Amino acid sequence: MTSSVDHSVLLEEVQHKLAIYYQALAGRRVHLVPLAEDEMKTPPPDTGSTVRLPPKQASDQWYKLAVSHRAAHYEAGTFGFSFSTPGLYFDSLRPQSLEKIPVYDGDSELDWFFRLFARREMALDLFNVLEDFRIDEWAARRYRGLREIFVNTQRSELGRRPDITLMPPRQAFAEAIVRLSLNDRSASFGVSRILKTPAAWAVGVMEALGQPGASVEDSAEATIRLYHLLSGLPNVDVPGAESALISLSEPEIPINGMLWPKEWPEPDPVHLEGDQVLEVNFEPVSYREQLGFWLRNYAPSAPPELQSIFTFREMPSKAKATMNDDTLAMQDDEFEQDLQRPLKPLPHDHGFDDEAHEHSSESIHSHDPSVFLYPEWDYQKSLYLRDWCALREQNLVGADQNQLFDETIRRNSHLIPKIMQVIESIAPENLRRVYRMPYGDDLDIDACIDSVTDLFAGVGSSENVYSSRERISRDVAVAFLLDLSASTAESIASDRRTDSTTGQTLTRRIIDIEKESMMLLLAVTSKIGDAVGIYGFSGTGRDHVEFYCLKEFRDHFSQEVINRISALNPVHTTRMAPAIRHSIRKLARQESQTKILMIISDGRPFDIDYGIEYGEEFMLDYAVQDTRKALDEARISGVRPFLLTVDEQGNDYLREMCNYMGYEILTDVSQLPMRIVSLYRELRAV
């Protein structure tokens, strides 16, 4: 007697891990919700705060792929579409002006694009397939560990596709496009001969769209071309038409070599009774979401609202039937959380050659003077992996931001007296006043008089007209290390206000509060004379850890420092350990007796390849243990580390990670500036 063992995985078993994984990739928190049984055939749409997945799958690899695909839409720029921006691989067929396109308040630029088409639902479905294909190819290049999962899952999906040989020409062509999006290049099909040339052109379009550097604008151009081919085919069997063996392997002509139609938008179609027979159905791919339900308007000037979701078709009746008072109440809650998503797609610079971005399993070598190699602690083997992480120092150059600094001071004017009281409680020991300085906290009257006298005498006047209090010996050095992961782009729901001029709702992001905190801190600590360094970090794999030098210890508080801090943007994941090790290196060069490292973060350490060789179930623990080891190294080297996080779930990992060192969970992000200053005094006094 044989028995079968069910190796399938329940969503609830991997829900927490997947949510962290999604946040690390997309920079957004979401709820992962299992689909109800009656939702499986026609799932309701995802929202900005909720991702709906089947409650059970054959393996956790399927879930990882589904979550990665959804998250990649944010980093790869799906929602950053610009109507006027050309694609990289296609000549632009979009009109140069909006003169003939209806434009309404609240439109996104994707709204404008879909108004080019007479059959907008077909164009939207086609765009979904093409953009999903681009995203899959992008993610498979960016995240090496996903490549094999993509290959296996797509092969499985192809095995479940409907029979293309039984379809009329237009429907068969739509199915061929979906198959091409799943990298089906080897099969041949016996279909109507009239598909032979369109299929060859489609292969060329898809090959271009799958190249490194292809953008959402390329997907739009590909949509125009394949829409033209699709709409020109009959959607009924042609009597007497010959069949032929069609291959999806080689393009017939270059994609820009065909005379594509130039006149867009199309005239509105004439609807005839029974013309529903012309409609086509793009049978969905199970691990991809249905973007057509929830393509969003990402306006940088204001957070998108739930009503900015646009739909070109009604929600399926089954999904409608599930809407009740409880569901609506839940959506109200989701709306509040929805406001926390990024205001615009997040930049991440790997260059266009994604193929060159590999995460190898060997030590890294580099002769670039801006790259520093650091070991990594493998807690599974209890040993250091030599030269395992490559950290690159980045020097930001920002435009003058006097206005931003003034706005920061004005917005926090109620805090300034409290901050000054805290700072002034620190005894100004070993300070002396230095005169004729190019910077300082007061004017040097004698130097000012000499400068004016020289000016009237016609000789060059000196700009060294300030005096400053400086330590004879600097006893304290403090390095601030800022988390610049993608999730710092989340808006703060409790910090919304209405612009009195435009009436728009404005929010600040976590990273905005971090920047304000550093500006306020520098404005007041310059009076003490401590050595202060400010740095930011993020990462995308062990070979691409970014370390931003915002203020070196030798730098004085200046307009240039303000500009660097102002130029900060969220980047990617939270690979904290190499950034800690590099900060230790910075502090080691300081002669101060007291050395402090204050880390300001919004989430747990995580990166796309942390401990990946041990399997996904070890990735989170691996990241925590490597970070814990780096913090231990700080203490051993004489540095006092402290971690301040705004992650409300921080207790889940901080007790283990911080291991006898100080940490604090700040539940109200808006209190960050005052709390940083207070901690500065407390840590300095220990």
What ranges do the domains of the chain cover? Answer: 391-425+473-685, 433-469
- Yes or no: say if 560 and 510 are a contact pair by the CB < 8 Å rule: no
Question: What is the DSSP-derived secondary structure letter of residue 348?
Answer: -
* 662 has pLDDT over 50: yes
**314 pLDDT band (50/70/90 cuts)?**
very low
- 474: which residues sit within 8 A by CB, 6+ positions away? 529, 530, 531, 590, 591, 592
Of 168-182, 286-300, 482-496, where does the model show the most confidence?
168-182
Cα of 585 vs its chain's centroid, Å:
29
Residue at token pair 């080691």: 588
Backbone angles phi, psi at 642, to 5 degrees: -145, 135
Nearest to 649 by CA among 665, 630, 626: 665
Nearest to 291 by CA among 152, 140, 134, 153: 134
**Integer Cα distance of 200 and 432 in angstroms:** 79
pLDDT recorded at residue 398: 67
pLDDT recorded at residue 29: 79
Question: With b meaning 16 or more CB within 10 Å and e meaning fewer, what string describes 546-582?
Answer: bbbbbbebebebeeebbbbbbebbbbbbbbbbbbbbb
What's the mean pLDDT in 20-38? 81
Longest dimension (CA), the chain: 109
pLDDT recorded at residue 315: 32
- Yes or no: say if 176 and 199 are a contact pair by the CB < 8 Å rule: yes
**Integer Cα distance of 237 and 169 in angstroms:** 7
Sign for the CA dihedral angle at 159, 163, 165, 170 comes to negative
**Integer Cα distance of 230 and 265 in angstroms:** 16
* 317 has pLDDT over 80: no
Other beta carbons within 10 angstroms of residue 464's beta carbon come to: 16
**Integer Cα distance of 602 and 482 in angstroms:** 9
**483 pLDDT band (50/70/90 cuts)?**
very high
Beta strands per DSSP E along 253-370: none
pLDDT recorded at residue 607: 84
Tokens representing 80 are 């950053």
Sign for the CA dihedral angle at 256, 267, 126, 49 comes to positive
- Yes or no: say if 467 and 431 are a contact pair by the CB < 8 Å rule: no
- Yes or no: say if 686 and 599 are a contact pair by the CB < 8 Å rule: no
Average pLDDT of the chain is 77
pTM here is 0.59
What is the per-residue DSSP string for 438-474? SS-SEE-HHHHHHHHHHHHTTSPPPS--EEEEEESS-
List pLDDT tens digits, range 111-160: 889 989 988 888 999 999 999 999 999 999 888 778 889 999 999 999 99
Question: What is the DSSP-derived secondary structure letter of residue 270?
Answer: P
Helix axes 11-26, 60-75, angle to 10 degrees: 20
List pLDDT tens digits, range 186-225: 667 777 778 888 888 888 899 999 999 999 999 999 999 9
Tokens representing 64 are 């990882």
Higher pLDDT, 612 or 679: 679
What's the mean pLDDT in 561-568? 88
* 565 has pLDDT over 50: yes
Other beta carbons within 10 angstroms of residue 316's beta carbon come to: 16
pLDDT recorded at residue 334: 39
Tokens representing 117 are 């088409």
* 465 has pLDDT over 90: no
List pLDDT tens digits, range 152-164: 999 999 999 998 8
**276 pLDDT band (50/70/90 cuts)?**
very low
Higher pLDDT, 615 or 369: 369
* 10 has pLDDT over 50: yes
* 347 has pLDDT over 50: no
- Yes or no: say if 676 and 521 are a contact pair by the CB < 8 Å rule: yes
Higher pLDDT, 237 or 169: 169
Question: With b meaning 16 or more CB within 10 Å and e meaning fewer, what string describes 621-654?
Answer: bbbbbbbbbbbebbeeeebbbbbbbbbeebeebb
Burial of 511 (0-12, 13-18, 19+ CB in 10 A): buried
**Integer Cα distance of 143 and 467 in angstroms:** 53
Question: What is the DSSP-derived secondary structure letter of residue 606?
Answer: B
Higher pLDDT, 359 or 383: 383
pLDDT recorded at residue 629: 92
Residue type, 502: T
- Yes or no: say if 614 and 145 are a contact pair by the CB < 8 Å rule: no
- Give the helix ranges, DSSP H, for 478-597: 510-525, 559-566, 576-588
**329 pLDDT band (50/70/90 cuts)?**
very low
What's the mean pLDDT in 42-70? 84
- Say what percent of the chain tops pLDDT 70: 75
Nearest to 142 by CA among 285, 361, 352: 352
**422 pLDDT band (50/70/90 cuts)?**
low
- Yes or no: say if 116 and 89 are a contact pair by the CB < 8 Å rule: no
Query: Which is it for strands 594-601 and 639-645: parallel, antiparallel or unpaired?
Result: parallel
Nearest to 210 by CA among 135, 288, 124, 127: 135
List pLDDT tens digits, range 58-73: 888 899 899 999 989 8
Domain 391-425+473-685 fold is: Rossmann fold (3.40.50)
**Integer Cα distance of 457 and 451 in angstroms:** 10
pLDDT recorded at residue 502: 59
* 447 has pLDDT over 60: yes
Question: What is the DSSP-derived secondary structure letter of residue 1?
Answer: -
pLDDT recorded at residue 302: 28
List pLDDT tens digits, range 512-551: 888 888 888 887 776 677 789 999 999 888 888 999 999 9
pLDDT recorded at residue 152: 92
- Say what percent of the chain tops pLDDT 90: 22
- 87: which residues sit within 8 A by CB, 6+ positions away? 214, 215, 217, 218, 220, 221
